[in-house]
Amino acid sequence: MIRVFIGYDPNETVAWHVLSHSIHTRSSRPVTIAPVMLSQLDGLMWRERNPLQSTEFSFSRFLVPYLCGYEGWAIFMDCDMMVVDDIARLWDLRDDRYAVMATKHDHRPKEDVKFLGAVQTRYEKKNWSAVMMFNCAACRALTPEYVNTASGLELHQFKWLDGDERIGDIPLRWNHLVGYQEDRPLDTISNLHWTVGGPYFDAYADTSYAREWFAERDAMLHATSGRGTGKGS
């Protein structure tokens, strides 16, 4: 069973569901998908919201190993994404030599503001934590106490590991940064990431790959009518 956790923010509810749909419809193996949702983490997340965090799951993502009982592997993804490949191909990259695996971008945004007026921050390893595969047993440092008290940089720069050699590589095609990386055919991309702002926001409705996102949303909303009487069985 492939375990996937997707960050949930009420400002991007539709994004969460479209990403979930995109994973399920392309997966060749059974997948379980759970939201990392603050309303379901009562008693586990108590840190106050940082003015610099753009989503509710900026820090709660690091609870995934704890939520898995520090057993097995699990994938975490931001919700502002759409998978266009078989998630099993990502799952097959798991390597027990590493505590966590990530897409190691050298991402240096130039803008100061992103979606909904959120402050754009700049730091080493930016966007590495947007797609992660946790080797949960090797991530026992990520206790609720640590996740609630560590600084944002300690968490997102993987300071909770013994060293960067504990971070394995996920190919960048699994975290294609829309608007930063050059547009490419979808068969060369596995996962689209609208990190500045997704097409579900009016201000970004014409962003790259917006047409593909709206097509995915429409497919998710589709229901075939005319089968049966519509009455209870």
| Number of neighbours of residue 137 by Cβ within 10 angstroms | 15
Report d(CA 161, CA 174) in Å as an integer. Answer: 23
Name which of 64, 74, 77, 65 is nearest 6 in CA terms.
Answer: 77
pLDDT score at 111: 46
How many domains, the chain? 1
For residue 126, pLDDT beyond 90: no
Question: Is the Cα torsion angle 124, 129, 135, 138 positive or negative in sign?
Answer: positive
Decide if 230 is inside a domain.
Answer: no
Q: How confident is the model at residue 27 (pLDDT cuts 50, 70, 90)?
A: very high
Domain carrying residue 187: 2-221
List pLDDT tens digits, range 199-217. Answer: 999 999 999 999 999 999 9
Name which of 221, 183, 180, 179 is nearest 204 in CA terms.
Answer: 179
Q: Which amino acid is it at 6? A: I
Helices (H), the chain: 13-26, 64-67, 87-91, 144-149, 152-156, 210-221
DSSP state of 178: B
Decide if 227 is inside a domain.
Answer: no
Decide if 152 is inside a domain.
Answer: yes
pTM (2 d.p.)? 0.89
92 against 232, higher pLDDT:
92
Mean pLDDT of 55-70: 96
Decide if 231 is inside a domain.
Answer: no
For residue 233, pLDDT beyond 60: no
Q: How confident is the model at residue 136 (pLDDT cuts 50, 70, 90)?
A: very high
Decide if 228 is inside a domain.
Answer: no
Report d(CA 77, CA 61) in Å as an integer. Answer: 9
Mean pLDDT of 120-126: 63
Decide if 82 is inside a domain.
Answer: yes
pLDDT score at 227: 61
For residue 220, pLDDT beyond 60: yes
Decide if 15 is inside a domain.
Answer: yes
| Rg, Å, the chain Cα set | 18
CATH number, domain of 142, equals: 3.90.550.10
Decide if 21 is inside a domain.
Answer: yes
pLDDT score at 228: 56
Phi-psi region of 32 (alpha: psi -120 to 50; beta: other; left: phi over 0): beta
Residue listed under structure tokens 């379901």: 40
Answer yes or no: are the C-beta atoms of 5 and 66 closer than 8 Å: no
